[in-house]
Structure 1
């Protein structure tokens, strides 16, 4: 069954009868989107009344034939929130935001693909294209970071290089926004993120896509991608120093044991340190041909283990606060066994986001999609789940 908010009308709870299809309920203060379905018994109605529910929204077309509806008069509802309008606007707005975010991600992949395969053959066009894309990314991130991350959470291991470049750029902008960096700097970091692995086009595919651990010789060859990157971008006019740093410093370490230049401490600027953190985090959480991606919680543990010698400890903590313990796009299990995708972040409490639930581990079956706001004290996140540890395929549920 599928209900349309436009078909719902508001009725007093005392006029609700068995067989009516309820889409939402309202107490004296707020509207609650219900787990839509038909009223099965008089006892269910009595429970709603005893819980202080004053009104119900019902879908006439899905209610049983013969149901008698007594809508609340307009004069009684002038000052009461209109769930139908609000819910429809919320869903419509969500779809528009995700559509915009998806276009930005698609454009980014096209640019990354061009960079990785055309090798800057037409440098006159590359930088302006990058700048236009970066401006779109920043505009969307300033407006709605959640939509970007929910879309970019959909990954394909066969497109790792493309998606990794896009995600690093997106995460850098999100992180920079959190640190209140100026928009011009965000733009330059985004460009640095999208080009940061361009040197890998010259790495031997057998090494780049090897499923097992690299030998010492193979690792030394892999490290050359930073040397290749410097050669490539040095021939491109218009790449800013910040973009260049992000590209060439994401494997440097505070103790000087990184590459390609063995920079130490303050020799690595803020944006360079940020790129180190973001690059490792996205690599850890991605599926690769040789490994399954970690949950965000496990990736955070790894990042913290690399402080303070390799990564900036203060920045790592800030990054965790920025992304959230359970970032948008993460798959989580709630205390009642429901499984869902973290859909909207909660800036005041990262442990209480909105979760789009679609599966029950308790009953081992799919359930009607339901958005649960974890500010509701009945629910809490039990744990994060790496996609590889989930027994079902969740990809289709990332769509609105």
Structure 2
């Protein structure tokens, strides 16, 4: 059954009755289109009242004949600001933000690729090339980080090295913003993220892309990428100490068992501690040539298991708080069997984000795309799903 928000009228919730077709509900001037459907019981109405819903938007043409409608008279303060049409415009705004985020991610991959080629050829790289991009990235995080993280959640295991560098940079900026870093610090951690794996260009491809566990000798060779990075970072003209720490400390551990220097405790700066957490998280959640990516929930468990000896425990908790229990871009299954993408975060209640649903595991079929705002729904998240655990391809649904 299809409906058009333009055909909806706003009524007080206490006039809502069984048989009316609800296209949206309104709480505190926020309109939510995720609860569309015909009211089938008094219990459903009581549940909305219990959740402090004040108004409903209903489609008269799709409601049962005989329903009595008592529209609210819209005032000048109220008309479009609380209509489903306005809500559509909010999603249109997300569309433009997501297009911009896609451009930033594409540009970052191009930059990362060029830097790897230049350093492999022994040519110098100028930080100036990265600064404008870093400024764009920071602005996007400040304006709409959800759009950015939704775009970066789309992965291609054949582009792992480039995507990993870009995602680490993106996550570092979001994490840094959460920690209250200055704009200049955010710029430098972004640059550090893009170049953090610069040394891998010197690693044997057969080892770098080996589809299986590395032998002890191969692992020692792999660890050498950080020794190469120490030498190569000197060719990055204008690199800051912050960017250097992100690059050279992301494999150091608090207990001194990391590499390349075996630094420990306070020898590892806040930027090094941030990058080690972000690097591990992104590597765990990505599909690789030798393993499937895991869900965010599984990755969080591993990060916590590495505290307090390898990773900073307080920082890990702050990182989890930053990206959310269910990060934007993650796949989740709801309690009614619907599967969707976490679309918008909810800082007030991280367990209740907005989810873009596109598939039903209950009926084993695709469904009409709908946005479910769990703040105003009886549904909840049953579990997080890694893309590899889903029986269908979710990638087309990451577009707005």
Q: What TM-score results when the alignment is normalised by the length of structure 2?
A: 0.87
Aligned equivalents of 2:355, 2:343: Cα separation in 1: 5
Q: CA deviation at 1:59?
A: 9.4
Q: CA deviation at 1:15?
A: 12
Where 1:234 maps in the other structure, the secondary structure is: helix
Q: Is the 8 A contact 1:8 1:84 kept in 2?
A: no
Report the counterpart of residue 382 of structure 1 in structure 2: 382
Aligned equivalents of 2:74, 2:269: Cα separation in 1: 62
Q: Structure 2 vs 1, CA of residues 361 and 279 (structure 1 numbering), >3 Å: closer, same or farther?
A: same
Aligned equivalents of 1:349, 1:15: Cα separation in 2: 28
Q: Is the 8 A contact 1:188 1:243 kept in 2?
A: yes
Aligned equivalents of 1:392, 1:96: Cα separation in 2: 27
Where 1:375 maps in the other structure, the secondary structure is: helix
Aligned equivalents of 2:96, 2:231: Cα separation in 1: 41
Report the counterpart of residue 10 of structure 1 in structure 2: 9
Q: CA deviation at 1:87?
A: 1.3
Report the counterpart of residue 322 of structure 1 in structure 2: 322
Residue-by-residue CA offset, 1:195-236 (whole Å, 9 max, x unaligned): 011111111100000001111111111111111112212122
Higher relative contact order (CA 8 A, sep 6+): 2
Q: Structure 2 vs 1, CA of residues 91 and 346 (structure 1 numbering), >3 Å: closer, same or farther?
A: same
Report the counterpart of residue 213 of structure 1 in structure 2: 213
Aligned equivalents of 2:261, 2:194: Cα separation in 1: 21
Q: Is the 8 A contact 2:34 2:372 kept in 1?
A: no
Considering only aligned residues, what root-mean-square deviation do their CA atoms show, in Å?
3.3
Q: Structure 2 vs 1, CA of residues 24 and 375 (structure 1 numbering), >3 Å: closer, same or farther?
A: closer
Q: CA deviation at 1:252?
A: 0.7
Q: CA deviation at 1:117?
A: 2.3
Residue-by-residue CA offset, 1:347-368 (whole Å, 9 max, x unaligned): 1221111111111112222222
Q: What TM-score results when the alignment is normalised by the length of structure 1?
A: 0.87
Task: Map residues 1-400 of structure 1 onto 2, 5 A cutoff.
Answer: 5=5, 7-10=6-9, 23-24=23-24, 31-33=31-33, 36=36, 56-58=57-59, 79=78, 81-119=81-119, 126-376=126-376, 378-400=378-400
Report the counterpart of residue 66 of structure 2 in structure 1: none
Where 2:93 maps in the other structure, the secondary structure is: helix
Aligned equivalents of 2:30, 2:246: Cα separation in 1: 47
Q: Is the 8 A contact 1:24 1:58 kept in 2?
A: no
Q: Is the 8 A contact 1:16 1:56 kept in 2?
A: no
Report the counterpart of residue 67 of structure 1 in structure 2: none
Q: Is the 8 A contact 1:165 1:197 kept in 2?
A: yes
Q: CA deviation at 1:96?
A: 1.1
Q: Which runs of 5+ in 1 are unaligned?
A: 65-69
